[in-house]
Structure 1
């Protein structure tokens, strides 16, 4: 197990020429539904594929370069895998949990602890959702990596192969996922803080009577505030989208270093045992 996946990924990113500009461009592209995500995934997982094969390269100089001719195909494959593992599967699991256990948990907690019990039930449900998110991310990253390396959708849904890789180095994989989730949570906290700050400003101006004073001054104040708020929100959107793209690139690159330990150049067909499985089988003999 190699240590310092994110440190290695960060070094690769910061040593790439024009990396910050690429993050902003990828972030803006990601705002385009589906197409933007396909391009981002295709770009990121193409870079993962390089390092998984042991090829150390900086960030590809052109986002739409499509040097291997697989940018959009790879991105679409990862988009499908992401949708299944991070949206559909967690939604189904949480829905079943809510129906089968959630109501019972809320009823029992309410009966035992009263009003506090309902809050406790909500906290438990929140922790369960976070756990599902982490587990889904584990499967998604391994599935997307396998599919990107093989260039096909099928390898991403071979659960037995995914599970074998996850068991081989669970600690390293969990570290990659947890750091990625932590970065995402931090970005969400920043977004929440920004929204709260905007709310405080609006409340303060309302308390001071800026909106209700009437006349030209009030109308001008409303117009100026709306314009300023629009500009601030636009800047925040651009910055946060770039941060989101950075987290994606960083996490995927770190995942590439994790996959590197599986001796990708020695992989055969998608149904064949992986090198570490063959080595383990020979050792048992």
Structure 2
């Protein structure tokens, strides 16, 4: 169980539990998950739409909004646009990562050692790509997701937190693999006798013409597909359902991790990051130690006269806006977001 106080602000642990608590926060949370399970089977458009929906929900979380995924009022076209930004950012990062990996592997003498280290880094690369995609989603532009120095500063500030999230993805992938094996093996064992019989028949049927042998082979293939077809369809739906939940939980966990970078105080995408936020438990008095009451002055990373534009805030009246010192650059209600501002659910 996750207490409501654990969902406020930034905390450096329990990313899976808190992300799951936000996912299941509202009654009927399973409905959008089921819809995405089917939508992701639609080539290109369905995949982009689901990706955009996932990242737009995580965008709210990064801003500090504790809400479940929307169940209505979702703008599908804008979800597809957001998913396209995510696709481009991930593609660029994966291409760059592949090129860098190939270069490191060719380094004389130390190439093997670098390759081993880089293999370990690649385990967490999927999470790094999510961080870059989250920046692009927050700014609603592709370029912020490609600013390597800023993204590297975020990653190097708290690599342990990203390692925890990477562990969630690894465990989820292992669970999915076990399910696939359990469901698929019995079906494969059922068609093996027919396959062996077909191979033996073709081997000793030299008197048959090549056309007849091809016809027998096709009949055997269609027979096997018809017998294993229902199992394959069920397996695809199960994998799609579990994969959708894993995507929602893991991307939203990265959004919870990004709260430590004060997303609401971000300026232009090329500006440096504001002051980092610490886990509030770090400031709690330790048992047996003296604690003096010292008045604390509010600290703002943006001066009252700074007119830098901030990332587009989520269009929801319950969501936190940028600090009071920063003059608004646009009406939050007019901001483009797939989530309807008048219905928080």
Q: Does 1:42 align with 2:52?
A: yes
8 Å contact 2:262–2:276 — kept in the other structure? no
* Alignment map for 1:246-261 (pairs within 5 Å): 246-261=245-260
Cα distance in 2, alignment partners of residues 205 and 255 from structure 1: 48
Tell me the equivalent position of 1:182: 171
* Alignment map for 1:133-212 (pairs within 5 Å): 133-204=122-193
Unaligned regions of 5+ residues in structure 2, if any? Answer: 1-10, 202-218, 278-298, 302-345
Which is greater in Rg?
2
> Which stretch shifts more, 43-52 or 178-187?
178-187
Tell me the equivalent position of 1:108: none
| Alignment root-mean-square deviation, CA | 3.7
Tell me the equivalent position of 2:84: 76
Q: CA deviation at 1:276?
A: 1.9
Cα distance in 1, alignment partners of residues 256 and 141 from structure 2: 21
Tell me the equivalent position of 1:244: 243
8 Å contact 1:5–1:254 — kept in the other structure? yes
Q: CA deviation at 1:72?
A: 2.6
8 Å contact 1:24–1:239 — kept in the other structure? no
* Alignment map for 1:88-99 (pairs within 5 Å): 88-96=95-103
- Kindly indicate which of the two structures has a greater share of residues assigned to helix: 1
Structure 2 CA distance for partners of 1:162 and 1:198, relative to 1, 3 Å? same
Cα distance in 1, alignment partners of residues 62 and 43 from structure 2: 29
8 Å contact 1:44–1:248 — kept in the other structure? yes
Query: TM-score normalised to the size of structure 2?
Result: 0.62
Deviation digits for residues 240-262 of structure 1 (CA, Å, limit 9, x no counterpart)? 11111111111011111111122
> Which stretch shifts more, 161-170 or 132-141?
132-141
Query: TM-score normalised to the size of structure 1?
Result: 0.74
2:70 aligned to which of 60, 64, 86 = 60
8 Å contact 2:61–2:67 — kept in the other structure? yes
> Which stretch shifts more, 168-177 or 190-199?
190-199
Deviation digits for residues 224-269 of structure 1 (CA, Å, limit 9, x no counterpart)? 7643411111111111111111111110111111111222111111
What is the number of residues matched between the two proteins? 255
Unaligned regions of 5+ residues in structure 1, if any? Answer: 106-124, 214-219
Cα distance in 1, alignment partners of residues 135 and 243 from structure 2: 23
Q: CA deviation at 1:93?
A: 4.2
Secondary structure of the residue that 1:261 maps to in structure 2? helix
